[in-house]
């Protein structure tokens, strides 16, 4: 019953001959656990059937009970476990004595599908550990009322996949929506839309992407890293081969894709796993090799900043060194300069713009290598960038625009309140208060504690519990703890209170474009963008993408061309490259 046999499961079970001698009820002393006060029909029951063995069954059931309770939160008092044996088993054409291990799971009607899947996984994990039977030989079948579930070949499946039904049966439309793209883990959906969207600008290839995501187990971040990193290494090796044999265009294309795949591999590792920095560095190096094959149209630059330098890329449509309008592009919480090349830079140069993509504190290299966290006074970052840009003869000082993505929707307006040499500002989307947006992810008690100055270990524990239960919150807060260099959630939230536009919007005189997405719920982003727009007292334009365009999610994930068309049209009407 290994994975290779899964599709013929029903036929294999039909060939499994169980020789006479099934014990119909547990023998005395074989470990039956009863709920206090008798068995309630609403209480789950677990029946395990296995070959005769020397296993210490009472001890196994006792530990299994503890393991399942620890994994699911279901009180041990409400779970009944019992064990029975086969006299003999003939499986897949031969007698066996050490597999398979069968489990019947009886569940109450109020259990959700997620509850059932959680119980199945916990039971299989525990039995593998306690009995030595590989999970691929553990078979769990549910009984009334959720008969559709089955644990087979090491994972939770549904019987519908194995009933021999026609392959022409239509899939439910909800399974094919962007909101459920490939995974149930919302963080994986977010990242997959991001990476798949970059096919339009050479950052990925569809076949490679489907190969990668087909190897990722839902909610399993280790498998995410392994799948993306393996493809990145493979594509980089191909790029090296192409470069060595003089196929420069093919090499550049492959280096670009390797950049994106390494970047995706690093996304959940942050600073505590050294593989994260290695993958990030591999992606940076691959991009630099691609830039080296661009004929000078992608130039790596270092921008003087305090006691160090900011990394960046200067992009130009050709090698003429003509004076052109300049689009400064920066990210927010979790993207890198290399990401921004694929999201917008490559598209902007096609319109005739020069582009300067840069990273500041808390971003890319500055957090990964220099360990410099975010700062709320972002004008201290943007002003040196403008100084550098104006030192170049190929920049028109009268036609400079600055665009910020995601949390850049706070950083850019903050900088524009003080830096007056930039003529146009674009935010996708706007962030009025980073603190307020972050608080939308937690119970109101967290906000109240922070605002009252009473944030404590108890509040930290509440936040960590939310992170454990919600993968998207885990990713978001873990990224923030790292990039703001905060040891605890309370420390982080106190820092975030400084990140507000409340006192500076009146100082912004730059013409602004505020971009929004109709279903953007990342830290309350949809409402935040509207608040930014309404607070501005300068010439301004509001642009919102929706599901009819495929641009309804955060920063139009998955639709960079649709997004850039309208953003760059707006800028074209003003900057006229």
CATH number at residue 244: 1.20.1440.110
d(CA 217, CA 180): 15
Question: For residue 28, what pLDDT is reported?
Answer: 32
Q: Are residues 218 and 333 in the same domain?
A: no
pLDDT tens by residue, 195-230: 999 999 999 999 999 999 999 999 898 999 999 999
Q: Report the pLDDT value the prediction gives residue 72, as an integer from 0 to 100.
A: 84
Q: Count of CB atoms within 10 A of residue 551's CB?
A: 26
| pLDDT over threshold 80, residue 562 | yes
Alpha carbons within 13 A on the beta-carbon side of 20: 0
In a shared domain, residues 270 and 312: no
Helix then strand then coil, in percent of the chain rounded to 5, is 50, 20, 35
For the ranges 161-165, 179-183, 245-249, 389-393, which has the lowest average pLDDT?
Answer: 161-165
Locus of tokens 């990210």: 331
11-25, 168-182, 433-447, 552-566: which has the minimum mean pLDDT? 11-25
pLDDT at site 470: 86
Lowest mean pLDDT, pick from 88-102, 281-295, 534-548: 88-102
Looking at the structure, tell me whether residues 425 and 455 fall in a common domain.
Answer: no
Say whether both 188 and 273 belong to one domain: yes
Instruction: Give the C-alpha separation, 375 to 496, whole Å.
Output: 10
Query: Residue 357 in 3-state DSSP?
Result: strand
Q: Report d(CA 542, CA 215) in Å as an integer.
A: 41
Nearest alpha carbon to residue 349 among 359, 360, 357: 357
pLDDT score of 149: 62
Please give the structure tokens belonging to residue 506.
């009146």
Does some domain include residue 174? Answer: no
Asked which of 123-137, 151-165, 328-342, 369-383 is least confident by mean pLDDT, the reply is 151-165
Q: What is the 3-state secondary structure (H, E, C) of 503-537?
A: CCHHHCCCEEEEEEECCCCHHHHHHHHHHHHHHCC
Residue 192 CA, distance from chain mean position: 7
pLDDT per residue as tens digits for the range 315-335: 999 989 899 999 999 999 989
Structure-token match 């850049």, residue found: 408
More confident residue, 119 or 365: 365
What pLDDT is stored for residue 388 in this prediction?
98
Banded pLDDT at 378 (limits 50, 70, 90):
very high
Provide the CB-side half-sphere exposure for 127 (13 A, CA). 28
172 assigned to some structural domain = no
Are residues 263 and 331 in contact, defined by beta-carbon separation less than 8 angstroms? no
Domain-located, residue 575: yes
Residue 145 is predicted with a pLDDT of: 47
pLDDT at 148: 56
Q: Are residues 359 and 300 in the same domain?
A: yes
Instruction: Confirm whether 379 is domain-assigned.
Output: yes
Q: Which of 194, 195, 279 is nearest to 236 (CA)?
A: 279
Residue 328 lies in a domain: yes
pLDDT at 395: 97
Q: Of 106, 133, 162, which one is at a domain's C-terminal end?
A: 162
The contacts of residue 301 (CB under 8 Å, 6+ apart) are 311, 312, 313, 314, 356, 388
pLDDT reported for residue 289? 98
Q: What is the pLDDT of residue 230?
A: 96
Is-contact 313 321, C-beta < 8 A?
A: no
**CB under 8 Å to 129, separation ≥6 — which residues?**
67
Answer yes or no: do 226 and 356 share one domain: no
Task: Kindly calculate the radius of gyration of the chain based on its CA atoms and give it in whole angstroms.
Answer: 28
Q: How many CA atoms lie within 13 A of 263 on its CB side?
A: 30
Which of 393, 388, 425, 395 minimizes the C-alpha distance to 409? 425
Percent of the chain scored above 90 by pLDDT?
A: 57
Q: pLDDT tens, 508-530?
A: 999 999 999 988 878 888 899 99
Domain that holds residue 188: 181-292
Instruction: Kindly state whether residues 465 and 318 are assigned to the same domain.
Output: no
| Least confident stretch, 281-295, 380-394, 433-447, 499-513 | 433-447
Look at residue 176 and tell me if it is in a domain. no
**Residues 294, 237 contacting (CB under 8 angstroms):** no
pLDDT band at 41 (very low <50, low <70, confident <90, very high): low
Summarize the confidence of residues 147-153 as an average pLDDT.
63
- The pLDDT score that the predictor gives to residue 171 is 64
d(CA 115, CA 108): 10
355: CB partners within 8 A, 6+ apart:
313, 314, 315, 316, 326, 327, 328, 329, 344, 345, 348, 349
Could you tell me the pLDDT band of residue 7, with boundaries at 50, 70 and 90? very low
Phi, psi (rounded to 5 degrees) for 168: -90, 0
Phi, psi of 538, rounded to the nearest 5 degrees: -115, 180
pLDDT band at residue 551 using 50, 70 and 90 as cut-offs: confident
24 and 94 co-located in one domain: yes
pLDDT at 302 over 60: yes
Residue 2 has pLDDT above 50, yes or no: no
Same domain, 517 and 392: yes
Average pLDDT for the chain:
86
Handedness of CA 550, 554, 559, 563 (dihedral sign): positive
pLDDT band at 507 (very low <50, low <70, confident <90, very high): very high
Alpha-carbon dihedral angle through residues 208, 213, 216, 219, given to the nearest 10 degrees: 150
Same domain assignment for residues 470 and 339: no
Which two tokens mark 199?
């096919």
The overall longest dimension of the chain from CA atoms, in Å, is: 90
Residues 6+ apart with CB under 8 A from 341: 201, 287, 298, 313, 315, 357
Q: Contact 338/290 with Cβ under 8 angstroms?
A: no
CA distances from 461 to 450, 484, 525 (A): 14, 19, 25
Say if residue 478 is in the same domain as residue 420. Answer: no
| Residue at 92 is within a domain | yes
pLDDT at residue number 54: 87
Q: Looking at the structure, do residues 217 and 132 belong to the same domain, yes or no?
A: no
Give the end of a domain, one of 292, 325, 340. 292
- Residue 93: φ, ψ to 5°: 90, 5
Nearest Cα neighbor of 192 from 295, 284, 261, 243 is: 261
Place of tokens 């499994």: 16
On whether residue 513 sits in a domain, the answer given is yes
- Burial environment of residue 547 by CB neighbours within 10 A (0 to 12, 13 to 18, 19 or more): middle
Over the range 442-476, which residues count as b (16 or more CB within 10 Å of their CB) and which as e?
Answer: beeebbebbeeeebeeebbebbeebbeeebbbbbb
**72-76, 151-155, 257-261, 302-306 — which is least confidently predicted?**
151-155
Query: Residue 442 corresponds to which tokens in the numbers above?
Result: 């937690």
Q: CB neighbours (10 Å) of residue 185? A: 20
CATH number of the domain residue 547 falls in: 3.40.50.1820
**Domains identified in the chain, total number:** 4
What does the alpha-carbon distance between residue 524 and residue 453 come to, in Å, rounded to a whole number?
A: 23
Cα(559)–Cα(307) distance, integer angstroms: 38
Peptide bond between residue 145 and the one before it cis (omega within 30 degrees of 0):
yes
Band the pLDDT of 170: cuts 50, 70, 90. Answer: low
Among 469, 496, 523, the domain-final residue is: 496
Burial (CB count <10 Å: 0-12, 13-18, 19+), residue 268: buried
d(CA 374, CA 429): 19
Domain harbouring 149, CATH code? 3.30.429.10
pLDDT band at 15 (very low <50, low <70, confident <90, very high): very low
């Amino acid at each position: 019953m290994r994975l290779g046999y899964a599709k013929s499961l029903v036929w294999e079970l039909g060939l499994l001959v169980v020789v006479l001698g099934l014990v119909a009820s547990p023998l005395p002393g074989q470990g039956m656990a009863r709920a206090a006060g008798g068995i309630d029909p609403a209480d789950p029951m677990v029946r395990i059937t296995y070959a005769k063995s020397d296993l210490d069954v009472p001890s196994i059931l006792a530990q299994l009970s503890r393991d399942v309770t620890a994994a699911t939160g279901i009180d041990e008092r409400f779970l009944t476990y019992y064990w029975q044996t086969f006299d003999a088993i003939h499986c897949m054409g031969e007698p066996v004595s050490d597999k398979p291990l069968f489990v019947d799971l009886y569940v109450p009607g109020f259990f959700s599908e997620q509850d059932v899947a959680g119980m199945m996984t916990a039971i299989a994990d525990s039995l593998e550990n306690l009995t030595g039977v590989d999970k691929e030989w553990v078979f769990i079948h549910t009984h009334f009322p959720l008969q559709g579930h089955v644990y087979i070949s090491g994972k939770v499946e549904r019987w519908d996949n194995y009933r021999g039904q026609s392959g022409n049966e239509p899939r439910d439309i909800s399974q094919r929506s962007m909101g459920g793209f490939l995974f149930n883990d919302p963080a994986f959906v977010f990242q997959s839309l991001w990476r798949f969207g970059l096919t339009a600008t050479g950052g990925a290839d569809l076949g490679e992407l489907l190969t990668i995501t087909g190897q990722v187990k839902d909610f399993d971040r280790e498998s995410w890293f392994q799948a993306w990193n393996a493809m990145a290494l493979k594509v980089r090796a191909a790029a090296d081969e192409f470069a060595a044999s003089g196929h420069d265009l093919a090499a550049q294309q492959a280096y670009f894709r390797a950049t994106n795949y390494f970047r995706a591999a690093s996304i959940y590792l942050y600073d505590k796993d050294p593989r994260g920095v290695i993958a990030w560095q591999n992606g940076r190096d691959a991009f630099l090799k691609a830039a080296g094959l661009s004929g000078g149209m992608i130039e790596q630059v270092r921008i003087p900043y305090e006691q160090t330098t900011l990394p960046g890329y200067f992009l130009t449509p050709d090698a003429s060194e003509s004076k052109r309008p300049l689009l400064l592009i920066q990210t927010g919480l979790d993207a890198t300069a290399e990401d921004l090349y694929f999201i917008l830079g490559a598209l902007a140069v096609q319109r005739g713009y020069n582009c300067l993509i840069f990273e500041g504190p808390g971003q890319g290299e500055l957090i990964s290598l220099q360990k410099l966290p975010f700062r709320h006074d972002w004008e201290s970052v943007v002003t040196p960038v403008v100084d550098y840009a104006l030192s170049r003869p190929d920049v028109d000082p009268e036609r400079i625009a600055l665009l910020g993505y995601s949390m850049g929707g706070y950083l850019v307006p903050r900088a524009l309140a003080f830096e007056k040499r930039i003529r146009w500002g674009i935010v996708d989307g706007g962030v009025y208060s980073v603190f307020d947006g972050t608080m939308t992810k937690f119970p109101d008690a967290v906000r109240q504690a922070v605002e009252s100055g009473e944030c404590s270990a108890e509040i930290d524990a509440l936040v960590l519990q939310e992170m454990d239960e919600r993968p998207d919150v885990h990713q978001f807060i873990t990224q923030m703890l790292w990039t703001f260099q905060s040891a605890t959630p309370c420390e982080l939230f106190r820092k975030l209170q400084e990140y507000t536009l409340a006192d500076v919007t009146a100082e912004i005189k730059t013409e602004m474009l505020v971009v929004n997405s109709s279903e953007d719920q990342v830290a309350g982003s949809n409402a935040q963008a509207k608040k930014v727009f309404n607070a501005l007292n300068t010439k301004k334009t509001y642009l919102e993408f929706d599901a009819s365009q495929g641009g309804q999610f955060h920063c139009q994930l998955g639709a960079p061309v649709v997004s850039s068309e309208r953003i760059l049209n707006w800028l074209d009407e003003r900057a006229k490259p």
